[in-house]
Amino acid sequence: MNHDTYPDSYIHEILTSVKSIAMIGASPSNVRPSYFVFKYLAERGYDMIPINPGQAGKSLAGKPFVGSLSEIGRPFDMLDIFRNSDAAALVVDEALALAVKPKVIWMQLGVRNDQAAEKAEAVGLKVVMNRCPKIEYARLTSEIQWMGINSRTLSSKRAPVPTGNMRLSLDRASIVGGATAAADRVAKDKNDVS
Protein backbone atom coordinates (compact mmCIF):
# COMPACT_ATOMS: atom_id res chain seq x y z
CA MET A 1 0.00 0.00 0.00
CA ASN A 2 1.23 3.46 -0.87
CA HIS A 3 0.86 5.41 2.37
CA ASP A 4 1.48 8.79 0.76
CA THR A 5 -2.02 8.86 -0.74
CA TYR A 6 -5.13 6.78 -0.16
CA PRO A 7 -7.95 6.25 -2.63
CA ASP A 8 -11.29 7.48 -1.35
CA SER A 9 -12.64 3.96 -1.86
CA TYR A 10 -10.08 2.57 0.63
CA ILE A 11 -10.98 5.12 3.32
CA HIS A 12 -14.70 4.76 2.59
CA GLU A 13 -14.56 0.97 2.93
CA ILE A 14 -12.80 1.28 6.29
CA LEU A 15 -15.20 3.87 7.69
CA THR A 16 -18.27 1.91 6.59
CA SER A 17 -17.05 -1.51 7.75
CA VAL A 18 -15.75 -0.74 11.24
CA LYS A 19 -18.22 -0.59 14.10
CA SER A 20 -15.97 -0.28 17.15
CA ILE A 21 -12.91 1.94 17.55
CA ALA A 22 -10.36 1.85 20.36
CA MET A 23 -8.63 5.23 20.66
CA ILE A 24 -5.26 5.15 22.38
CA GLY A 25 -4.33 8.58 23.71
CA ALA A 26 -7.94 9.71 24.17
CA SER A 27 -8.20 12.79 26.38
CA PRO A 28 -11.06 14.09 28.51
CA SER A 29 -9.77 17.65 27.97
CA ASN A 30 -12.16 19.45 25.63
CA VAL A 31 -9.29 21.41 24.07
CA ARG A 32 -7.42 18.31 22.85
CA PRO A 33 -7.90 17.00 19.29
CA SER A 34 -8.46 13.45 20.56
CA TYR A 35 -11.46 14.68 22.57
CA PHE A 36 -13.11 16.19 19.47
CA VAL A 37 -12.38 13.15 17.31
CA PHE A 38 -13.67 10.75 19.98
CA LYS A 39 -16.87 12.69 20.52
CA TYR A 40 -17.48 13.21 16.78
CA LEU A 41 -17.08 9.51 15.96
CA ALA A 42 -19.24 8.48 18.93
CA GLU A 43 -21.97 10.85 17.68
CA ARG A 44 -21.80 9.12 14.28
CA GLY A 45 -22.66 5.78 15.85
CA TYR A 46 -19.25 4.18 16.33
CA ASP A 47 -18.74 2.14 19.51
CA MET A 48 -15.82 4.11 20.98
CA ILE A 49 -13.36 2.79 23.57
CA PRO A 50 -11.09 5.42 25.20
CA ILE A 51 -7.61 4.23 26.25
CA ASN A 52 -5.48 6.35 28.56
CA PRO A 53 -3.71 4.87 31.61
CA GLY A 54 -3.83 8.23 33.41
CA GLN A 55 -7.63 8.35 33.10
CA ALA A 56 -8.51 4.72 33.95
CA GLY A 57 -11.67 4.60 36.06
CA LYS A 58 -13.02 7.85 34.58
CA SER A 59 -15.16 8.18 31.48
CA LEU A 60 -15.32 10.13 28.22
CA ALA A 61 -18.71 10.77 26.62
CA GLY A 62 -20.18 8.05 28.83
CA LYS A 63 -17.55 5.48 27.84
CA PRO A 64 -15.20 4.18 30.58
CA PHE A 65 -11.47 4.68 30.08
CA VAL A 66 -9.23 1.63 30.08
CA GLY A 67 -5.51 1.69 30.78
CA SER A 68 -4.27 -0.41 27.85
CA LEU A 69 -5.37 -2.43 24.84
CA SER A 70 -5.19 -5.68 26.80
CA GLU A 71 -7.67 -4.29 29.36
CA ILE A 72 -10.44 -3.79 26.79
CA GLY A 73 -11.57 -7.40 27.19
CA ARG A 74 -13.45 -7.65 23.90
CA PRO A 75 -12.68 -7.48 20.18
CA PHE A 76 -12.73 -4.12 18.39
CA ASP A 77 -12.49 -3.28 14.69
CA MET A 78 -10.11 -0.32 14.52
CA LEU A 79 -7.28 1.08 16.60
CA ASP A 80 -6.95 4.88 16.34
CA ILE A 81 -3.51 6.00 17.53
CA PHE A 82 -3.13 9.46 19.12
CA ARG A 83 0.52 8.98 20.07
CA ASN A 84 3.76 10.12 18.41
CA SER A 85 5.33 8.21 15.52
CA ASP A 86 7.91 6.44 17.69
CA ALA A 87 5.30 5.30 20.23
CA ALA A 88 3.10 4.03 17.40
CA ALA A 89 5.46 1.08 16.90
CA LEU A 90 4.94 -0.12 20.49
CA VAL A 91 1.18 0.37 20.21
CA VAL A 92 1.05 -1.66 16.98
CA ASP A 93 3.13 -4.43 18.60
CA GLU A 94 0.65 -4.49 21.50
CA ALA A 95 -2.29 -4.69 19.05
CA LEU A 96 -0.64 -7.53 17.13
CA ALA A 97 -0.20 -9.47 20.38
CA LEU A 98 -3.97 -9.45 21.09
CA ALA A 99 -5.84 -12.74 20.74
CA VAL A 100 -8.28 -11.04 18.34
CA LYS A 101 -6.50 -8.39 16.28
CA PRO A 102 -8.26 -5.27 15.01
CA LYS A 103 -8.96 -5.10 11.28
CA VAL A 104 -7.54 -1.58 10.93
CA ILE A 105 -4.65 0.40 12.41
CA TRP A 106 -5.25 4.14 11.96
CA MET A 107 -2.49 6.62 12.84
CA GLN A 108 -3.62 10.21 13.36
CA LEU A 109 -2.40 13.34 11.59
CA GLY A 110 1.36 13.69 12.01
CA VAL A 111 1.78 10.04 13.01
CA ARG A 112 3.62 7.81 10.57
CA ASN A 113 5.66 4.69 11.25
CA ASP A 114 6.37 2.67 8.11
CA GLN A 115 7.93 -0.26 9.98
CA ALA A 116 4.85 -0.61 12.21
CA ALA A 117 2.63 -0.38 9.12
CA GLU A 118 4.59 -3.16 7.41
CA LYS A 119 4.19 -5.42 10.46
CA ALA A 120 0.44 -4.83 10.56
CA GLU A 121 -0.03 -5.32 6.83
CA ALA A 122 2.05 -8.51 6.93
CA VAL A 123 -0.67 -10.12 9.08
CA GLY A 124 -3.53 -8.80 6.94
CA LEU A 125 -4.49 -5.58 8.72
CA LYS A 126 -5.36 -2.40 6.85
CA VAL A 127 -3.31 0.65 7.77
CA VAL A 128 -3.89 4.38 7.41
CA MET A 129 -1.23 6.87 8.49
CA ASN A 130 -1.13 10.65 8.86
CA ARG A 131 -4.90 11.00 8.48
CA CYS A 132 -7.78 11.79 10.83
CA PRO A 133 -10.93 9.64 10.67
CA LYS A 134 -13.02 12.65 11.74
CA ILE A 135 -11.75 14.72 8.82
CA GLU A 136 -12.03 11.84 6.37
CA TYR A 137 -15.56 11.02 7.53
CA ALA A 138 -16.63 14.66 7.23
CA ARG A 139 -14.99 14.97 3.80
CA LEU A 140 -16.60 11.81 2.42
CA THR A 141 -20.07 12.67 3.77
CA SER A 142 -19.79 16.35 2.69
CA GLU A 143 -20.28 17.43 6.31
CA ILE A 144 -17.03 19.33 5.99
CA GLN A 145 -18.73 21.70 3.51
CA TRP A 146 -20.99 22.98 6.30
CA MET A 147 -17.91 24.69 7.71
CA GLY A 148 -17.00 26.30 4.39
CA ILE A 149 -14.08 23.95 3.73
CA ASN A 150 -13.37 22.84 0.18
CA SER A 151 -13.73 19.03 0.21
CA ARG A 152 -12.57 18.70 -3.40
CA THR A 153 -15.91 17.06 -4.16
CA LEU A 154 -17.96 18.88 -6.78
CA SER A 155 -21.71 18.81 -6.51
CA SER A 156 -24.50 21.16 -7.44
CA LYS A 157 -26.51 19.92 -4.48
CA ARG A 158 -25.75 21.13 -0.97
CA ALA A 159 -25.44 18.38 1.61
CA PRO A 160 -28.38 18.27 4.04
CA VAL A 161 -27.92 19.37 7.62
CA PRO A 162 -28.04 16.19 9.71
CA THR A 163 -30.90 15.80 12.11
CA GLY A 164 -31.45 13.07 14.69
CA ASN A 165 -31.26 9.57 13.17
CA MET A 166 -30.74 10.90 9.64
CA ARG A 167 -28.84 8.37 7.48
CA LEU A 168 -25.60 9.92 6.24
CA SER A 169 -23.73 8.97 3.07
CA LEU A 170 -21.48 6.53 4.94
CA ASP A 171 -24.70 4.78 6.02
CA ARG A 172 -24.40 5.85 9.65
CA ALA A 173 -27.12 7.47 11.68
CA SER A 174 -26.39 10.93 13.03
CA ILE A 175 -26.98 10.83 16.76
CA VAL A 176 -26.68 14.54 17.33
CA GLY A 177 -25.22 15.87 14.07
CA GLY A 178 -26.46 19.43 13.68
CA ALA A 179 -28.60 19.24 16.77
CA THR A 180 -28.64 22.89 17.69
CA ALA A 181 -31.72 25.02 17.82
CA ALA A 182 -30.56 27.04 14.79
CA ALA A 183 -29.67 23.93 12.77
CA ASP A 184 -32.96 22.28 13.67
CA ARG A 185 -34.87 25.40 12.57
CA VAL A 186 -32.99 25.47 9.25
CA ALA A 187 -33.67 21.76 8.64
CA LYS A 188 -37.33 22.20 9.55
CA ASP A 189 -37.68 25.28 7.32
CA LYS A 190 -36.08 23.44 4.37
CA ASN A 191 -38.38 20.45 4.90
CA ASP A 192 -41.46 22.68 5.08
CA VAL A 193 -40.67 24.47 1.80
CA SER A 194 -41.62 22.45 -1.28
Do 114 and 177 reside in the same domain of the chain? no
Give the chain's radius of gyration (CA, Å): 17
The predicted pLDDT at position 49 comes to: 97
Do 52 and 127 lie in one domain? The reply is: yes
Report the pLDDT value the prediction gives residue 57, as an integer from 0 to 100. 87
SS (H, E, C) 12-63: HHHHHHCCEEEEECCCCCCCCHHHHHHHHHHHCCCEEEEECHHHCCCEECCE
Contacts with 184 (C-beta within 8 Å, 6 or more apart), sequence order = 163, 178
Count the helix, strand and coil residues of the chain and give each as a percent rounded to the nearest 5.
40, 15, 45
Percentage of the chain beyond pLDDT 70 is 74
Mark whether 109 and 150 lie in a shared domain. Answer: no
**What CATH number is associated with residue 69?**
3.40.50.720
Q: Which residues pair with 105 in a beta bridge?
A: 79, 127
Q: Are residues 32 and 92 in the same domain?
A: yes
Whether residue 109 sits in one domain with residue 16: yes
Cα distance between residue 66 and residue 57, in whole Å: 7
21 & 105 share domain? yes
Q: Is the pLDDT of residue 124 over 70?
A: yes
In this structure, the answer to whether residues 37 and 93 fall within a common structural domain is: yes
Contact 125, 105 (CB under 8 A): yes
112 lies in the same domain as 86: yes
Higher pLDDT, 193 or 8: 8
Give the C-alpha separation, 136 to 134, whole Å.
6
Helix (H, G, I), strand (E, B) or coil at 78: strand
Q: Is the pLDDT of residue 178 over 50?
A: no
- pLDDT, tens only, 1-37: 899 999 999 999 999 999 999 999 999 999 999 999 9
**pLDDT score at 183:** 47
Distance, CA of 75 to CA of 84 (rounded, Å): 24
Q: How many domains does the chain have?
A: 2
pLDDT number for residue 24: 97
Over residues 134-167, the pLDDT tens digits come to 999 988 887 766 555 555 555 555 656 666 666 5
| Structural domain that includes position 80 | 8-135
pLDDT in tens, 36-86: 999 999 999 999 999 999 998 899 999 999 999 999 999 999 999 999 999
CA distances from 131 to 5, 128, 180 (A): 10, 7, 28
Computed over every residue of the chain, the mean pLDDT equals 84
